[in-house]
Structure 1
Amino acid sequence: MKSLDDIIRAVQAHGSTMRVAIAPCAERFVLRAALMAAEKGLAQPVFIGHRERACAAAETLCPNFADFEFIDCPDDNEAVAKAVDLYRQGKVQLIMKGLVSTATLLKAVLAKDAGLVAPGGILSLVTAFDAPQHPQHPETSGEPRLMLLTDAGVNIRPNLQRKMDILKNALEVARALGIVRPRAAILAATEKVNFPAMPATLDADLLAKMADDGVFGDALVAGPLALDLAVSPVSARLKRIDNPVAGHADILLTPDIESGNILHKALSTLLNIPLASVVVGSRVPVVVPSRGDSEQSKFASIALAVFLAQHNGALHNEALRNTSPPTPNNA
């Protein structure tokens, strides 16, 4: 996959429309994204929430809204729990956040009795976007490609262990998107370790050393790297940073949620770049749209979630085939 459009086309070409539970759904910006996904053949929405409010919100959006599957559930917490339950029953393949806090939705996904997160696993937000091209500086641009940013919305102040898990989640997404040997930049304010003044620089250095020891599999990890060194070959050359990740990072891992969120919003508001964001780390990809996201970003987020769910399903089926007992010759 070289672009968000590639992801959308791949989902459409797959041919199997996945069902996505939207809870609670009585909000126009959520309804609009879900209805667009249905219109474009990306996903089949299952609306959960206050029926009267949802119908009122959808009145000018979709004249046949009543034809969609709807589960009347006025209580927001119950609506979220119902969405998780539908996934556990195999009746939906995705979950999308409606007008409820992200924390409320993720609490339901993380609940032990839900069984959606492996012991020791964590949830993190991975954002995919088209690598910016710079017409005035072609030397900093390359072939069209996707980049990933993590974590701009879930983990507030991750320690070293948590950053390891966040990186592992992002690497899984990168590999699902066809990036065979992902290049991850562990971001900081400088490329030099400055501890204890800048703890993030030490974490970045340790993560890079772990990667050298094979902790993250076939991946290149460098850090600490300032943002310009991670994405600009010119900056890396001027500062004499000789590293295969410098200037060519596929994954940007930020030190904390504040820096991640600022970078996320800088991409979307200052550069007007569509962003596809999905919470990963559980058995079910979770779409967590923001009111401030563009229509294109909400649509792309659903497409990315469907793509990852299709990929996970393909891996599951392959694992079943590989573990199935051989068929007897005389069967």
Structure 2
Amino acid sequence: MGIASIEAGEARPGAKYDRLIAAAKAIPPATTIVVHPCDESSLRGATDAAEAGIIKPVLVGPSAKIRAVAFKYGIDISAFDLVDAPHSEAAAAKAVELIHAAKGEMLMKGSLHTDEIMRSVTAKAGGLRTERRISHVFVMDVPAYSETIFVTDAAINIFPDLDGKRDIVQNAIDLYTQAGFGTSPRVAILSAVETVTSKIPSTIEAAALCKMADRGQITGGLLDGPLAFDNAIDREAARIKGIKSEVAGRAQILVVPDLEAGNMLAKNLAYFAKADGAGIVLGARVPIVLTSRADSPRSRMASCAVATLYADGRRRRAQTAAA
């Protein structure tokens, strides 16, 4: 199911997320293992997405505590499976077991710390690793920008090397294409300047990533870089700098040099530009909805929607390959 494009100039807050959530409602809900939903925001986020028809939750954690939270805040969980686990670490381990047993298509972080769930996901024995580096994407609805923008990686890889960045880029491209955002996304490899210089290592890596795309080591997207942020998202800035590129001024995926830059960029967009950000972890055997306590209900819903669309795309690709 494709996501309808937003017309250039449409700046209504949440407009892009409306389309995203509507697209997710139009496909079957994805069975989602919700890990340790032991506070109001995480439990309500899961149940709201279920009521919207986006996910089918399986709640994993201390059953008495989950029921107590549900009772305290008037959240009805009677329709959902509840799998008991004594504490957050055990809940994460049990959730991974359920994925291995084909009991779910997605994971969703509850009220445990990110590193707790990721330890179980990345465990060498029994985890959910694949040949890809695991990475994070913020899918951002920026009211002043005509495109839904991806920012990667702002949450998992602190200082990724070139091979890690190759996977980060490929993960984001696959999400864009398989979740129905479109084809051949425009990928800007960000740095401080738009020229390659040995004084700024990220410019050299940006040039290398573009050459890797030329040689088929990265597929499905249109890459350019290094590009400074203004040149990546503003056509006039790119024109003034004399940059002739299909990507410059109209990027759809922004690849940052490191986690610090990505985290600051995403938070600047959220707090200065009033953008919503949906978070998803890629590169594991299943997509992982990675939410924060500070996320709005709308952002949680959009995170579930993105992951469900991606899971549906992966499911359909697998069926096509098996046919």
Tell me the distance in 2 between the aligned counterparts of 1:218 and 1:319.
18
**Shift of the alpha carbon at 1:17?**
2.2
Of all paired residues, the percent bearing the same amino acid is 36
Q: In the alignment, which residue of structure 2 is the partner of 1:97?
A: 109
Tell me the distance in 2 between the aligned counterparts of 1:115 and 1:316.
21
Query: Secondary structure of the residue that 1:114 maps to in structure 2?
Result: coil
**Shift of the alpha carbon at 1:67?**
4.2
Q: In the alignment, which residue of structure 2 is the partner of 1:179?
A: 182
Gaps of 5+ in 1: 134-140, 322-331
Tell me the distance in 1 between the aligned counterparts of 2:64 and 2:200.
52
Query: Secondary structure of the residue that 2:301 maps to in structure 1?
Result: helix
- 8 Å CA contact 2:142, 2:273 repeated in 1: no
Query: Secondary structure of the residue that 1:275 maps to in structure 2?
Result: strand
Q: In the alignment, which residue of structure 2 is the partner of 1:326?
A: none
Structure 2 residue 21 is the aligned partner of structure 1 residue 21 = no
* Change beyond 3 A, Cα 1:320–1:53: same
TM-score by length of 1: 0.88
TM-score by length of 2: 0.90
Tell me the distance in 2 between the aligned counterparts of 1:55 and 1:66.
10
- 8 Å CA contact 2:120, 2:127 repeated in 1: no
Q: In the alignment, which residue of structure 2 is the partner of 1:122?
A: 133
**Shift of the alpha carbon at 1:254?**
0.3
Per-residue CA deviation, residues 224-269 of structure 1 (Å, 9 max, x unaligned), is 1110100000100111111111001111000000110111111222
- 8 Å CA contact 2:142, 2:275 repeated in 1: no
Gaps of 5+ in 2: 6-15
Alignment coverage as a number of residue pairs = 309
Query: Secondary structure of the residue that 2:149 maps to in structure 1?
Result: strand
**Shift of the alpha carbon at 1:222?**
1.0
Q: In the alignment, which residue of structure 1 is the partner of 2:122?
A: 110
Per-residue CA deviation, residues 76-106 of structure 1 (Å, 9 max, x unaligned), is 1111111111111111221111122212212
* Change beyond 3 A, Cα 1:46–1:255: same
Which of 73, 78, 81 is matched with 2:93 structurally? 81
Q: Which has the higher contact order (CA 8 A, sep 6+)?
A: 2
Tell me the distance in 1 between the aligned counterparts of 2:103 and 2:239.
52
Structure 2 residue 12 is the aligned partner of structure 1 residue 9 = no
Tell me the distance in 2 between the aligned counterparts of 1:160 and 1:290.
28
**Shift of the alpha carbon at 1:63?**
4.7
Note the 1:137-176 alignment, pairs <5 A.
Answer: 144-176=146-178
Per-residue CA deviation, residues 294-315 of structure 1 (Å, 9 max, x unaligned), is 1111110011111111110000
54-63 or 252-261, larger mean C-alpha shift: 54-63
Which of 49, 52, 73 is matched with 1:40 structurally? 52
**Shift of the alpha carbon at 1:6?**
2.4
**Shift of the alpha carbon at 1:56?**
2.6
Which of 243, 246, 249 is matched with 1:247 structurally? 249
312-321 or 48-57, larger mean C-alpha shift: 48-57
- 8 Å CA contact 1:26, 1:51 repeated in 2: no
* Change beyond 3 A, Cα 1:60–1:75: closer
Note the 1:164-313 alignment, pairs <5 A.
Answer: 164-176=166-178, 177-195=180-198, 197-313=199-315
**Shift of the alpha carbon at 1:9?**
1.5
Per-residue CA deviation, residues 176-221 of structure 1 (Å, 9 max, x unaligned), is 12421111101011112232x3211111121122223332234221
Tell me the distance in 2 between the aligned counterparts of 1:60 and 1:40.
22
Tell me the distance in 2 between the aligned counterparts of 1:21 and 1:232.
40
Over alpha carbons, which structure has the higher Rg? 1
Tell me the distance in 1 between the aligned counterparts of 2:213 and 2:238.
20
- 8 Å CA contact 1:151, 1:256 repeated in 2: yes
Q: State the one-letter code of the partner of 2:308.
A: V
Q: State the one-letter code of the partner of 2:189.
A: I
